[in-house]
Amino acid sequence: MRLGQELRLFVRQRLAVPTLVVLALLSSVSVAAGLWEIRRQAETIARIQPLQAEEEKAVSAWVSRDGDAGNAAYYTFHATWDPPSALAFAALGQRDVAPYVLRVRALALESQIHEGEAYNAELALSGRFDWAFVATFLAPLILIVLLHDLVSGEREAGRLQALQAAGGSTGLWLGRTGLRLGLAFVALGAPFAVGAWISGAGAGVSLAALGATALYLAFWALVCLGVGALGRSSVENGALLAATWVALTLVLPALAHLLINSTIPVRQGVELTLAQREAVHAGWDKPKDATLNAFFAAHPEWRDTPPVLTGFHWKWYYAFQHLGDLSVADQVAAYRRGLEARDAWTARAGWFLPAVGLQTTLHRMAETDLAAQLAYQDRIRAFHERLRRFYYPYIFNETPFREGDFAKAPRWAEDG
């Protein structure tokens, strides 16, 4: 009975229902936008596969005329892709800035990976308008509107003393807070639940995402109660809560971002691309014997193949391509360690900055975080290794590469 009375009182407030409607609309639009983006990415992935087959057919018809394996390896692009998880619609994360489709050749790999620089979102600052953005940045503002005058409004209306005299005021405020928190959570979470059902997300991960969001909203409800307990006016409460929101969702995360970046300096991926390309281009000017001997040190199985006697030979070319990757291997490892260190400190910052904590949690659940992007790169490297080992016997043994050999090449679907 009391819940019904509180609900009727809440609905009578001028901003109550419109505020919840706004939150529900924002949540619905963000879910729809996320579903559209993920559908677009899935369609791109589906479209690239038949295009890959058509391109390969054209290359095979040309290469098969003289059976040059070097041309086959050089001109054949192999598509790789990272399909979105069912929950990616809610938190796009790295998928908004890092490539999810990458075509690679059997040439030096690192420049191919880092040409599409994966900007590491070390901290969850404002980005694409997705459901995680609404939950992290906008939902607290809605709670502030609903709760900033919970006590002060009664005082200003002259009803506070009567409520306190009736006893049980603490339970009353907690009940009213819980009602507003619950309604805001439903307005935010209901569109998410529909989106999760449409995308086929599992019940477990969906409930976990909602649970993390509920804890985040509960934190903001407690902040609102704490400010309300100071005995200030509604206007002062609103101003103080707005300042708190700015500090906790924008200023402090930005400062933490700067601190992490300055403490853990990381070279950009484009620098790795340039370093690797310089090493590859330098291979043209080095003695062939020096290049091949360095390659044979890493791949002794090809040492006894026919020697390079002509001015240009594909085995020499692919040897210094691979040496280009080896030349930046330490830099690549350091780059990755730096990114992972920043990511780890971001996760630690999330324990003290709830906005960062919620976004990193949602990105992890949606498999759109840095770890997921690095895992995709690892799969590309493993696939590229298979490509090289597929082409090398043709190139180093000078075996003709015919049309039927194209079908024997590794396929990403087996690895991705």
| Secondary structure letter of residue 104 according to DSSP | E
Is 201 in contact with 365 (CB distance < 8 Å)?
no
Alpha carbons 296 and 300: distance in angstroms, whole number: 5
What torsion do the CA atoms of 46, 47, 51, 52 make, to the nearest 10 degrees? -30
Look at the chain and count its residues: 416
Q: Which residues of 342-361 are buried (b: 16+ CB within 10 A; e: fewer)?
A: bbebbeebbeebbbbbbbbb
Closest to 93 (Cα-Cα) out of 331, 414, 354, 346: 346
Question: Coil, strand, or helix at residue 168?
Answer: coil
pLDDT at 149: 77
Would you say residue 121 has pLDDT above 90? no
Question: Coil, strand, or helix at residue 90?
Answer: coil
Would you say residue 145 has pLDDT above 60? yes
Cut 0.85: pTM above it? yes
Count of Cβ atoms closer than 10 Å to residue 231 Cβ: 10
| DSSP sequence for 136-147 | IIIHHHHHHHHH
Q: Which residues are CB-contacts of 377 (< 8 A; sequence separation ≥ 6)? A: 113, 118
Alpha carbons 175 and 188: distance in angstroms, whole number: 20
Closest to 78 (Cα-Cα) out of 44, 112, 110, 111: 112
Question: Mean pLDDT score of the chain, rounded to an integer?
Answer: 87
Per the structure, the complete domain to which residue 278 belongs is given by 1-416
Count of domains forming the chain: 1
Per-residue pLDDT reduced to its tens digit, 211-250: 999 999 999 999 999 998 887 887 898 899 999 999 999 9
